[in-house]
Every structure is written in structure tokens, then in C-alpha cells.
Chains A and B, each alone.
Chain A
């Protein structure tokens, strides 16, 4: 019999026992739905974790430290290159790193504890410089207000906890002006030791980024014998409030609660812990960086760039190993969810076997008639296969829709709860196209497998006995 005729006959047969076949198909749909719902939650969680983590910039970033610093701060020795030369992490090194293949940008970690003033009241906090490229980070997705208007705008974004400390109504802070008080590092002029600070202007007389003339001269001049620390102020306008700081705590000295453009942070020439060591080494005119963040084109090239940087004599750290562990975790997690989901589909496939075996008993005489009219065993077998496959296909399609709806319902419920907790919404479930296709195909194949026994039994039926059956 041709496939079209088989399909027409199978459809007719399925329509005849509408209630029973619908219930069987519903059983398959529920089985597929549970599988899809489980997997969609697994994939959704994985996507959410991957997206959020990749948006933090952790996965395409390499933290570069001078080996001396790394040892001093108890960094992992295995990441360093003990045989190689120890290099200073200064501007020259930064330029060299920028020229490496697959490197997008290289920026220093600028993070310092300081004090801010709002309406005359002082508050202690930690300031972090944020590169303009962080605009795309997930941490800024649900922010109130806006991101920095330019790379060197005198603007600040408050971390929510700081905003709560500053005001009972954090949102009202947006648009207000705060004063950042900081310690600026200045190299002393060659005669600075003798001349003291007599020739220096009062830094508080000229707020902003006005640089003392003596310091400017010193930077351009000969090697300085030391540095001076000068208190300064900078007015900043609050333009936004964010839940978390991107890449918080990764290689830094603490969570930044006041975020300012990195370019501004660098221009402030903040006194860093490395300054004292640089001064003792006689390098105070060429300040070195505590660490540099090297952002690469994709997580795939992290390892190769990291190897190149190590060969240059720097210590490195990346979260590559953590990524591998994360992938392993989600593979196992998805596998377990898939197994639980498959159990429901196994029960559903038993339903198919039951329905088709019952159909053989009911349609015994019909099978006998078909054989008497010229149906081969193969035709009867294929007829039952098509019926099983059709139930699997329809059940699979409905199951995917049902599973998707369950996933959306779980996401909706979760988001309603998160909204009550004043947390941003999340997309908990995800049904990618590959899952739609795979679930329907899986349902179809499982149904065909469930149809093997009934179909074989129907095909083996003795037509004479079948015709006698009442």
C-alpha cells in the first residue's frame, strides 16, 4: 500500500476511536511537555548563567599582574612563568599588550577607598573606574538612570547599597551633585625636597582637575626622588543607580560602590599601593599599574593570549577553568533533567503500546478483512506504525507547546515573586529551535518504538482466525 493511502487509513482509524486515541496522544503530549519543560528550564538557567557571566566580562578577560606583585599578594604561582623575566607593568607594557593579536582593549584596574560628600555630609566608600566598553555589561541592563554620557564625563553611577546609605529615596539622588575627595599622587620635582610645598597652590582652592604647576613640571622633567600625596576634590553628577558592579571583586581590592568613567579615574592620578615600591625603586616618575585587564575578542582565544602574556614575563589570571567546570555542571544538570523528563515519556509510550494492543483486539476482524482483500503482513504492520507515529507526532507537537507554556508559567511565577522582592525579572526557561525539533523527533521515534510490538502482532495475525472473530 502506498504511504498516502496508509496515512489516510491510519487517520481514519485514529478518528474512529477518537476519545481513546486522544487520551493516548495527550499522555504523549504530557510526557513530551515534562521533558521540554525540564530541559527548557535547564537550558534557560544555563543561558541565563552564561549570558550574565559573559556580560560581566569575566570570560573574555585576562588579569595581568607583574610577577613581583603577584607573589607579594599571594597570587597563584602556577599561573606565573618562574623561568621568565619579571617585568614592570607600566604604560609601555600596556601599549605592548594592546598590540597583541585578538586583544580588544587593555585598561588598568583603578579602585580606591575614599570619601564622598553629599550635602556637606561625608561618607566613606570605594570608587571604581569603569571602562566605557562596560556599557554592554549585563550589570547595567536594569539600571536606573543612564550610563556615562562619554568616556570622560564628570559623572557617577551609584551602587544601590551606597545609594541607600546616602538617601532613603535612592532614586531622588539621580541628577544631584556629589563631591569626591581623593588623594592625588605627584612626583616631587628634583628640588622638591629642599623647596618643600611652598610653591604649590592650595589644592582646595581650585576644585576639579586643575593640576599644580610644580607637579606638571616634575612629570615632564628628570627622575624624581619621591612623591607627594595631595588631597583633591572633584564634583560629579549622579546619573544612574545600578544593582551590582560588573566583575565585582575579580582581581580587585573590594567592591566598587561609586562608579566613575575609567578615563576620569586615571586622570585623577590616585595614589596606589604600588607607588611606595616604585618610589623605593626610583621609578616614581613612571608609575606602574597594580594590574591590567586585557579584554580579548572571544573566550576561545583567552588561553592563547594568556600564554603570550606569560611569555612576556607577566603573571596572568583568567576564569577559563571556571567556565569549563560550569559547562560540565550544566551538562550533568541537563542530563538529569532530561532523565526525569524521559520517565514521563516512558510512561506515555507504555500508553501507546496499550492503546495499539487494545486496537488489535478490537480491529481483529478488520485486519482479517484487509488480509482477505490483499493486504500483506507488511501493509498491516505499516498501518499500525503510521498510527503510532501519528500519535507520537501530534503528541510531540502539543507536548512542545505545553512544555513551552509550563516554562513560561514558571518564568511568570518566578518574575512575579522577584517583582515583589524588587529584583529585576529573569528569563528562566528557554525553548530553542533545536529543542522543538529534537522533542518532536524524540516523541515520534519513541512512539514508533512503542508501536513495534503491536504492529508485529497485528501483522502476524492469522486471517482465517481474525475473520472468525466477533
Chain B
């Protein structure tokens, strides 16, 4: 087992996530070791049930591995208690979901402010931070709108602003274009790419769309049946 290294934003070491479903043992993630460098844009590619979303949840600290280790900036998530994992999700990770997951009763502004509340950021500082995040996704005009009053693309941009507001170092996106049409999906991908470049933010994106993965990601990690099929390092070198 290798130790943590500054060279990686996030890294897994023989990580497994098994769970019992009736009599059957499901190996959602099985002995997977991957590493992502700071500022890298990685696509986790695989078919449905390949374990890519489970791996993403493990990286986010939303789930705990059955075995193995997960490192984010030298800290082993597997050894953290629930409070420390909450801090990890609050300060290190920004998450974007396929279903946007905005709170419907809150306005865009309130949704974006929510992570700041959870991170106990000073109230005086919050408006500027919200504005900064919303400006980045170009949704300032929609600040007082509720999610139901926004289009799918706008909702995903709002979700992206919410993920960025705490200034995380790692952005985890679970099928961010899954609920969007092709053009809107491309717009979101362009936005992710722009964020990756301008903020030098590490992005790990789960997708089943190989075409998009190849167009926007630096590297593609392929999974199948919970196992790592290809970590994309060779192809990334060859592409380089």
C-alpha cells in the first residue's frame, strides 16, 4: 500500500465497496486504484452499474469503502469520522449532480448560499461570495428565481455555482449533462472546462458519454463491473 502524496489531488488505493443485497454480495467497486493530479480533468467512463458513481461517492466522502484507502490532499478519508468527512465535503469538495439537486423552496441565491451557511462563513462575506460564483456561471439575472422557474441548463449552472461557492479544490460531477439536451450539455461542459483552466480546479466527472469525455477531459478512466478497466494514463501520454 502506497502512502499519500502531494502529487495527487485525489487517489484511491485498492479501494473496494461491497454491500449485501439479499443473499448476494454486490461488489460495486472492487479493488480500484486510481490517482488524479491537481488541476486534472478526469472522466470516469462506464456503462450503467459499472461502479463509477459509487467510486465518485467514495471520493466525495459520502460513502465509506469496505476496504482500501482514499486520499484527498494527503488525508485518508477512510480513517475520518463523520464530522471530518462533513468538513471534507464542505471545504475540499464541490459536487454537481445529474438531477441538479437544488432545493425547490429556495431561490437561486439561497441555494448557492447554503454551503456557506453549512461552512459557517461570516454573513457579511456571503453576498460577495454568492455573487462571484453566480457571475462565473452567468446567472446573475436569475438570482431571485426559484429552481422551478429556471431551465435545465440554468439549474445545472446554478448547481455548479453552489458547488464552487466554498472555493473547493476538487469538483466532482455525476453525469452533469445527463438531464440536458445536447447543446445545453455542451455549454455545461464548456463551463466545466473553463473552470478547470481558469481556477486550476481538479475535476472528476462521471459520464457514460465517451464522445464528450474525449472532447473535454484530459484523461478517461474506464470502469466495468466495479473494476478498473483502464486508468487512461497510457492514452493520455499518447495524446500528449
Footprint of B on A, CB under 8 Å? 1-2, 4-5, 9, 12, 16, 365-366, 368-379, 462-464, 467
B87 within 8 A of A: yes
Other than A373-B118, A374-B119, A464-B63, give 17 A-B pairs with Cβ distance below 8 A. A1-B117, A1-B118, A5-B117, A5-B120, A16-B105, A369-B103, A370-B114, A372-B62, A372-B95, A372-B97, A373-B89, A373-B90, A373-B115, A374-B91, A375-B90, A376-B82, A376-B86
Closest Cβ of chain A to B55, distance in Å, is 12
Instruction: Tell whether, in the assembled complex, residue B101 and residue A372 are in contact, meaning their CB atoms are under 8 Å apart.
Output: yes
| Minimum CB distance partner of B114 in chain A | A373
B204 within 8 A of A: no
Interface residues of B in 31-65 (CB under 8 A from A): 57, 60, 62-63
B16 within 8 A of A: no
Instruction: Tell whether, in the assembled complex, residue B117 and residue A9 are in contact, meaning their CB atoms are under 8 Å apart.
Output: yes
Number of A-B contacts (CB under 8 A): 66
Q: Which residues does chain A contribute within 8 Å of B162, judged by CB atoms? A: 373
B6 within 8 A of A: no
Instruction: Tell whether, in the assembled complex, residue A378 and residue B103 are in contact, meaning their CB atoms are under 8 Å apart.
Output: no
B166 within 8 A of A: yes
Instruction: Tell whether, in the assembled complex, residue B101 and residue A463 are in contact, meaning their CB atoms are under 8 Å apart.
Output: no
Q: Which residues does chain A contribute within 8 Å of B125, judged by CB atoms? A: none
Give the distance in Å from the alpha carbon of A365 to the alpha carbon of B97 in the complex. Answer: 12
| Minimum CB distance partner of A366 in chain B | B103
Q: With A1-B120, A379-B118 as given contacts, are A374 and B105 in contact (CB-CB < 8 Å)?
A: no
Give the distance in Å from the alpha carbon of A375 to the alpha carbon of B166 in the complex. Answer: 13
Give the distance in Å from the alpha carbon of A9 to the alpha carbon of B103 in the complex. Answer: 12
Q: With A365-B101, A376-B83, A464-B57 as given contacts, are A370 and B89 in contact (CB-CB < 8 Å)?
A: no
Q: Which residues does chain A contribute within 8 Å of B60, judged by CB atoms? A: 372
Shortest beta-carbon contacts, A-B, top 4: A374-B90, A376-B86, A5-B117, A374-B118
Give the distance in Å from the alpha carbon of A50 to the alpha carbon of B137 in the complex. Answer: 74
Main secondary structure on chain A at its contact with chain B?
Answer: helix
Give the distance in Å from the alpha carbon of A379 to the alpha carbon of B89 in the complex. Answer: 14
Question: Contact flags (1/0) for B72-108 with A, using CB distance below 8 Å?
Answer: 0000000000110011011100010100010101100
11 pairs from A and B in contact (CB 8 Å cutoff): A9-B117, A366-B103, A371-B62, A372-B97, A373-B95, A375-B90, A376-B83, A376-B87, A379-B86, A462-B63, A464-B62
Give the distance in Å from the alpha carbon of A375 to the alpha carbon of B118 in the complex. Answer: 6
Q: Which residues does chain B contribute within 8 Å of A366, judged by CB atoms? A: 103
Give the distance in Å from the alpha carbon of A2 to the alpha carbon of B63 in the complex. Answer: 25
Give the distance in Å from the alpha carbon of A369 to the alpha carbon of B95 in the complex. Answer: 10
Q: How many residues of B contact A (CB 8 A)?
A: 26
Q: With A16-B105, A464-B63, A467-B101 as given contacts, are A374 and B89 in contact (CB-CB < 8 Å)?
A: yes
A9, A365, A371, A462: which contacts B86 (Cβ < 8 A)? A371
Closest Cβ of chain A to B86, distance in Å, is 4
Q: With A464-B57, A464-B63 as given contacts, are A372 and B118 in contact (CB-CB < 8 Å)?
A: no
Q: Which residues does chain A contribute within 8 Å of B115, judged by CB atoms? A: 373-374
Closest Cβ of chain B to A310, distance in Å, is 72
| Minimum CB distance partner of A365 in chain B | B101
Instruction: Tell whether, in the assembled complex, residue A375 and residue B63 are in contact, meaning their CB atoms are under 8 Å apart.
Output: no
Q: Which residues does chain A contribute within 8 Å of B95, judged by CB atoms? A: 372-373
Instruction: Tell whether, in the assembled complex, residue B86 and residue A377 are in contact, meaning their CB atoms are under 8 Å apart.
Output: yes
Q: Which residues does chain A contribute within 8 Å of B62, judged by CB atoms? A: 371-372, 463-464, 467
Closest Cβ of chain A to B29, distance in Å, is 12
Q: Which residues does chain A contribute within 8 Å of B89, judged by CB atoms? A: 371-374
Q: Which residues does chain A contribute within 8 Å of B97, judged by CB atoms? A: 372, 467
A16, A378, A467: which contacts B83 (Cβ < 8 A)? A378
Instruction: Tell whether, in the assembled complex, residue A374 and residue B101 are in contact, meaning their CB atoms are under 8 Å apart.
Output: no
| Minimum CB distance partner of A376 in chain B | B86
Closest Cβ of chain A to B100, distance in Å, is 10
Q: Which residues does chain B contribute within 8 Å of A1, judged by CB atoms? A: 117-118, 120
Give the distance in Å from the alpha carbon of A434 to the alpha carbon of B118 in the complex. Answer: 38
| Minimum CB distance partner of A370 in chain B | B118
Give the distance in Å from the alpha carbon of A186 to the alpha carbon of B65 in the complex. Answer: 113
Q: Which residues does chain A contribute within 8 Å of B123, judged by CB atoms? A: 4
Give the distance in Å from the alpha carbon of A9 to the alpha carbon of B114 in the complex. Answer: 10
Q: Which residues does chain B contribute within 8 Å of A379, judged by CB atoms? A: 86, 118
Q: Which residues does chain B contribute within 8 Å of A376, judged by CB atoms? A: 82-83, 86-87
Give the distance in Å from the alpha carbon of A303 to the alpha carbon of B201 in the complex. Answer: 86
Q: Which residues does chain A contribute within 8 Å of B105, judged by CB atoms? A: 12, 16
Give the distance in Å from the alpha carbon of A378 to the alpha carbon of B82 in the complex. Answer: 9
Q: Which residues does chain A contribute within 8 Å of B63, judged by CB atoms? A: 462-464
Give the distance in Å from the alpha carbon of A445 to the alpha carbon of B26 in the complex. Answer: 45
Give the distance in Å from the alpha carbon of A9 to the alpha carbon of B82 in the complex. Answer: 22
Q: Which residues does chain A contribute within 8 Å of B106, judged by CB atoms? A: 12
| Minimum CB distance partner of A4 in chain B | B123
Q: Which residues does chain B contribute within 8 Å of A4, judged by CB atoms? A: 123
Q: Which residues does chain B contribute within 8 Å of A371, judged by CB atoms? A: 62, 86, 89
Give the distance in Å from the alpha carbon of A371 to the alpha carbon of B118 in the complex. Answer: 9
Give the distance in Å from the alpha carbon of A5 to the alpha carbon of B114 in the complex. Answer: 9
Give the distance in Å from the alpha carbon of A365 to the alpha carbon of B63 in the complex. Answer: 16
| Minimum CB distance partner of A16 in chain B | B105
Q: Which residues does chain A contribute within 8 Å of B83, judged by CB atoms? A: 376-378
Q: Which residues does chain B contribute within 8 Å of A377, judged by CB atoms? A: 82-83, 86
Q: Which residues does chain A contribute within 8 Å of B57, judged by CB atoms? A: 464
Q: Which residues does chain A contribute within 8 Å of B118, judged by CB atoms? A: 1, 370, 373-375, 379
